[in-house]
Amino acid sequence: MAYLELDRVAKQFGAQTVVDDFSLSVGKGEFISFLGPSGCGKTTTLQMIAGFLDPSRGAIRLEGKDLTAIHPAKRGLGIVFQSYALFPHMTAAENVAFGLEMRNVPRAEKAERVRAALAMVGLAGFEERHPRRMSGGQQQRVALARALVIKPSVLLLDEPLSNLDAKLREEMQIELRQIQRTIGTTTILVTHDQNEAMSLSDRIVVMSQGKIEQIGTPQETYERPASAFVSQFLGKTNDFAGTIDRTVAPTQLVAGSWRAPAPAGLGGPVTVSIRPERIGFGDTGLSAKIITRIFQGNHWLFQCDSECGPAIVIRQNDGKAQPAEGDAVRLTWRPEDMSVRARAGA
Amino acid sequence: MSMAAEERNIRAPWALTAPALMLFVGVLLIPLAMTVMLSFHDWGQYKGIEPVFILKNWHEIATDPYYAEMFWRTFRIAILTTLLTALLGAPEAYILNRMDGRWKSFFLLVILGPLLISVVARTLGWALLFGGNNGLVNKLLMSLGVMRSPIPFMFTETGMVVALAHVMMPFMVLSVWAALQRLDPQIENAAMSLGAGPVTIIRRIIMPQIMPGVLSGAIIVFSLSASAFATPAIIGGRRLKVAATLAYDEFLNTLNWPLGAAVATLLLVALVLIVVGSNALIERRYAEVFR
């Protein structure tokens, strides 16, 4: 049974629908990411779970109980805010202890849990420090400890890493994942960073303009994007216009001079999407000319002008000779590496 | 860098601030020094001011209980005014801050608008409402039979405190408002998610963070109230004098300039000590919030 369930949740501000028909089942202990560009409704959805906003339609259930009927202060969810929202007039220990105080946890137990929570996030010895005397990364850890010390049923993370620099962000991602695995708290992360969503989550909910585009594991969403939006948003992708030719047997999928047996169930004009790292240079296939070649250490990045429009190719730096700028090449890929969608409007 | 350039760099700030500095010295420091010097001069009904150095005026202020009463009243009124503005102004700013955009700017204008009107006009407004038998409110209440005699407002300390609090309110609201702007917009949600109710949020989270704003507003209101002249002069008149009106009377009615100067100097010194002292205390107490 689903632990946390969102059932056709929608939110409207006036005439504007910010979130529409949002349904999701979260299993206990799962790490879910809401991924999408800003304004896609991911934070609004999180705030509805937290209770800072009421859904216009739909239901949110936690262990089968209606969550929207419970006051936000009584929901027992742990939340880490983008700005951390630490209490600047309290020390790190006082910040972490606040939630326990509200629950009337006895003094000795409270002290022990605060100590353990701060130790868990690697801040042992920082108990008496005030937030404004801490670095961004440390503040973020205090915020995490404060949210986790109350043993929340669900941990909600609202872009918690977006204020950190790239290196620290990577460290915190690993740490966040480890902590979440250790204590097994069901977690929902809101982010616009696809790398963050992919490296942290069990499943990703890709959102655009208030709607769910796809729900799936990081690998599924990357390799089998359900829509053009998902394939564009999750990493780089090449979209080629192709057609399915039913005049020959067996039916063929044709994109320029590249052809392969057509997948079942589609006909007419289609869009073929291939990740740049899945394209190779071969003897047959899409003819193209290399416009620029960029060396990026562990890989080469080629920008090509193909007969189906611009194409990006990434080749691993395996020590082999690579084509040079201006070379005419043939682009080829395995049929199982591409996703084919009916082309809209054609 | 060459020596000449270095020298120029040292001189440049002085040269650039010189006009403002001269104005400052000319219109503030010199008159102030002259006032202090004046307070040590002698004065007599017929001989006028004698430029000698004596402690007569200071001795009179220190020994005559009339002056002690005057200063005590001045500070009592200033403290009560400060408390009243803090008690009303802080919640006012908090409510204002939580309003919707359009209402917020409208009510901010309502609060700040009175600053555009002269203090004299605003205080006279109170006199029109409550001034004796002819005050509008008094007339109304008496004709309705609610009151037999007019509400004691004019020439009372209560009246002075109320009128001063009205005049000073914008300073307190603005100061608390500025502190509220520094609050993390998610901080109340954070406290709520941890299980805090509305009263706890205000008491434990909001209050400690806006306290520096309340206190700096209090310093402004206190020093302006203690040195206020127009409002005490209109509400208290000659009957209920405070330090500022006392100094004015000594200067312009008794013509005992040296005594007036001593009163003014004492008021200034006392205010500077109180303001600097409480400011240092506040900054130390709220070091973490100020950073």
Q: Tell me the pLDDT of chain A averaged across its residues.
A: 91
d(CA A205, CA A158): 14
Q: Quick one: closest CA in A to B187, which residue?
A: A85
Q: Where are the alpha helices (DSSP H) in A79-135?
A: 92-102, 107-120
Count of domains for chain B: 1
Please tell me the predicted confidence (pLDDT) of residue A211.
94
- The pTM of the full predicted model, rounded to 2 decimals, is 0.82
For B174, residues 6+ apart whose C-beta sits below 8 A from its C-beta are B93, B112, B217
Does B40 map to a domain? no
pLDDT in tens, A166-186: 888 888 899 899 999 999 999
ipTM of the complex: 0.82
Q: Is B200 on the interface with A (CB under 8 A)?
A: yes
- For residue A50, give Cα distances in angstroms to A40, A140, A300, B185, B291: 18, 19, 45, 16, 30
Select the residue from A54, A98, A134 to test the B interface by mutation, using most B Cβ atoms within 10 A. Answer: A98
Does B64 map to a domain? yes
Q: Confidence band (pLDDT; 50, 70, 90) for B24?
A: very high
Evaluate whether A216 touches A224 at the Cβ level (below 8 Å): yes
- CA B134 from centre of chain: 30
3-state helix, strand, coil in chain B (%, to 5): 80, 0, 20
Q: Is B209 on the interface with A (CB under 8 A)?
A: yes
Q: Do B196 and A50 touch (CB under 8 A)?
A: no
Q: Confidence band (pLDDT; 50, 70, 90) for B238?
A: confident
Chain A residues within an 8 Å CB radius of B288: 88-89, 130, 132-133
For residue B38, which amino acid is it? L
Chain B residues within an 8 Å CB radius of A89: 208-209, 286, 288-289
Does B49 map to a domain? no
Chain A residues within an 8 Å CB radius of B184: 81, 83-86
Evaluate whether A138 touches A123 at the Cβ level (below 8 Å): yes
For A32, residues 6+ apart whose C-beta sits below 8 A from its C-beta are A24, A26, A187, A188, A189, A201, A202, A203, A204, A205
Evaluate whether A237 touches A197 at the Cβ level (below 8 Å): no
Nearest to B195 among A83, A102, A130 (CB): A102
Select the residue from B194, B200, B284 to test the A interface by mutation, using most A Cβ atoms within 10 A. Answer: B194
Q: What is the mean pLDDT of the segment spanning A193-202?
A: 92
d(CA A311, CA A239): 8
Q: Confidence band (pLDDT; 50, 70, 90) for B2?
A: low
Chain B residues within an 8 Å CB radius of A98: 191, 194, 196, 204
Chain A residues within an 8 Å CB radius of B291: 88, 130, 132-133
Please tell me the predicted confidence (pLDDT) of residue A209.
93
Q: What is the mean pLDDT of the segment spanning A65-79?
A: 93
Domain hosting residue B87, numbered range:
58-117+156-290
Does B130 map to a domain? no
Q: What is the mean pLDDT of the segment spanning B248-264?
A: 92
Chain B residues within an 8 Å CB radius of A81: 184, 186, 189-190
- Supply the CATH number for residue B196's domain: 1.10.3720.10
The b/e string for A288-311 (b: 16+ C-beta within 10 A; e otherwise) is bebeebeeeeeebebbbebebeeb
Please tell me the predicted confidence (pLDDT) of residue A344.
67
Q: Is B202 on the interface with A (CB under 8 A)?
A: no
β-strands A78-80, A154-158: how paired?
Answer: parallel
Residue B240 DSSP label: S
Q: What is the mean pLDDT of the segment spanning A162-169?
A: 86
Whether the pLDDT of residue A346 is over 50: the answer is no
Q: State the count of interchain CB pairs (< 8 A) between A and B.
A: 72
d(CA A4, CA A2): 6
Please tell me the predicted confidence (pLDDT) of residue B159.
92
Q: Do A88 and B196 touch (CB under 8 A)?
A: no
B10: tokens are: 């040292």
CA angle, B286 then B287 then B288, to 5° = 90
Q: Confidence band (pLDDT; 50, 70, 90) for B291?
A: low
Does B5 map to a domain? no
Evaluate whether B150 touches B133 at the Cβ level (below 8 Å): yes
Q: Is B270 on the interface with A (CB under 8 A)?
A: no
Q: Do B186 and A75 touch (CB under 8 A)?
A: no
- Closest by alpha carbon to B269, among B4, B43, B71? B71
Nearest to B189 among A52, A89, A132 (CB): A52
Does B19 map to a domain? no
Please tell me the predicted confidence (pLDDT) of residue B130.
87
Q: What is the mean pLDDT of the segment spanning A104-130?
A: 94
- For residue B139, give Cα distances in angstroms to A268, B127, B129, B157: 91, 13, 9, 22
Nearest to A81 among B190, B195, B209 (CB): B190
For chain A, which residues lie within 8 Å of any Cβ of chain B, measuring from their own Cβ?
50, 52, 72-79, 81-89, 98-99, 102-103, 130, 132-133, 146-147, 150
Q: Tell me the pLDDT of chain B averaged across its residues.
A: 90
Q: Do B184 and A78 touch (CB under 8 A)?
A: no
pLDDT in tens, A52-65: 999 999 999 999 99
pLDDT in tens, A9-52: 999 998 999 999 999 999 999 999 999 999 899 999 999 999 99
Please tell me the predicted confidence (pLDDT) of residue A1.
61
Q: Do B193 and A130 touch (CB under 8 A)?
A: no
Does B98 map to a domain? yes
